[in-house]
């Protein structure tokens, strides 16, 4: 799909998802990318529920929001804060990202993650792992760096394997 068409579709998705959440209370979306690895993996089915208001949010929750570019992003809430203009905003970051996302404002929030159905792997982490991982990723910033480096090495190894297979 061409980049222009993808950008157009992503900008239309936010209002459609917001409407679905308002009417039905939840929506199931397929995960794409590795920014929440290993908690959420490619093709996992993620259920997001509507937010009544931002008082439902707690540090460590995974929220779905629409970035200014139109992209839909599900990342972990690190903190509630205010920007330079004294507007309420959130600090949000993917578990395997080194830096947080740009500030997210309440009108960008779409929903909160309530369930993950693993598709591309068989191991289902327990509720205990969910709570422990959230505490670790919030308390040990070096862990995000480690996961980020691991994913980079994994991509390079996959590229080398592909080159080797093409030569033989």
Global pTM reads: 0.76
Distances (CA, A) of 152 to 33, 39, 75, 95, 142: 13, 17, 19, 14, 15
Indicate whether 52 pLDDT > 90: no
| pLDDT tens digits for range 18-51 | 888 889 989 999 999 999 988 888 899 999 999 8
Is the separation of the CB atoms in 10 and 71 below 8 Å? yes
Q: Residue 49 maps to which CATH number?
A: 2.10.109.10
User: Whole domain around residue 35: which residue ranges?
Assistant: 3-167
Q: What is the pLDDT of residue 168?
A: 57
H helix intervals, the chain: 3-24, 127-139, 141-167
- Helix, strand, or coil (residue 29): strand
Q: What is the reported pLDDT for 144?
A: 83
Structural domains of the chain, count: 1
pLDDT at 49: 92
**Burial group, residue 111, by CB count within 10 angstroms (0-12, 13-18, 19+):** buried
pLDDT digits (tens, 9 = 90+) for 83-134: 889 999 999 999 999 999 999 999 999 999 998 888 766 555 556 666 777 7
Q: How far, in Å, CA of 7 to CA of 45, rounded?
A: 22
pLDDT at 81: 93
**Could you tell me the two tokens for 73?**
């992003």
CB-facing half-sphere around the CA of 160: CA atoms within 13 A: 6
At residue 162, the pLDDT reads 60
pLDDT at site 167: 61
């Amino acid at each position: 799909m061409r980049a222009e068409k993808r950008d157009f579709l992503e900008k239309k998705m936010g209002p459609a998802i917001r409407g679905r959440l308002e009417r039905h209370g939840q929506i199931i979306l397929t995960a794409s990318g590795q920014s929440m690895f290993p908690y959420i993996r490619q093709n996992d089915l993620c259920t997001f529920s509507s937010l009544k208001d931002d008082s439902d949010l707690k540090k460590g929750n995974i929220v779905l929001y629409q970035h200014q570019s139109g992209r839909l992003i599900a990342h972990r809430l690190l903190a509630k804060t205010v920007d330079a203009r004294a507007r309420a905003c959130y600090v949000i970051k993917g578990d395997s990202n080194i830096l947080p996302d740009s500030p997210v404002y309440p009108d960008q929030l779409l929903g909160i993650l309530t369930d993950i159905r693993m598709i591309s792997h068989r191991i289902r982490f327990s509720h205990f792992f969910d709570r422990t991982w959230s505490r670790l990723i919030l308390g040990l910033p070096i862990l995000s760096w480690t996961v980020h480096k691991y994913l980079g090495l994994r991509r390079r190894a996959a590229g080398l394997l592909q080159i080797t297979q093409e030569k033989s």
